[in-house]
Amino acid sequence: MDATIRGQAFVVGDNVDTDQIIPAEYLSYNPAVPDERAMFGRYAMSGVPASESGLPDGNVPFADDAGGFALIVAGRNFGCGSSREHAPLALAVAGCRAVVAESYARIFYRNSINGGYVLPLETPARLVEAVRTGDEVELDAAACRLVNHTTGEAYELTPPGDAAEIIASGGIFAYARERGLLEPKT
SS3 content of the chain, % helix, strand, coil (to 5): 30, 20, 50
pLDDT by 10s per residue, the chain, length 186 = 558 999 999 999 999 999 999 999 999 999 999 889 888 988 888 888 766 666 655 555 665 544 578 899 999 999 999 878 899 999 999 989 999 999 999 999 999 999 999 999 999 999 999 999 889 999 999 999 999 999 999 999 999 888 888 988 999 999 999 998 988 776
Any domain includes 130: yes
Assess contact for 146 and 126: CB atoms under 8 A: no
Q: What is the pLDDT of residue 3?
A: 82
Using DSSP, state whether 154 is helix, strand or coil.
Answer: strand
Domain region containing 75: 4-178
* In a domain? residue 185: no
CA distances from 141 to 40, 55, 116, 118 (A): 25, 27, 15, 12
184 within domain boundaries: no
Verdict on whether the full-model pTM lies above 0.85:
yes
Total domains, the chain: 1
CATH of the domain at 173: 3.20.19.10
Q: Is residue 143 part of a domain?
A: yes
Closest to 63 in 3D by CA, of 44, 42, 39, 91: 42
- Residue 132: CA count within 13 A, CB half-sphere: 9
Which residues, listed in sequence order, are joined to residue 134 by a DSSP beta bridge? none
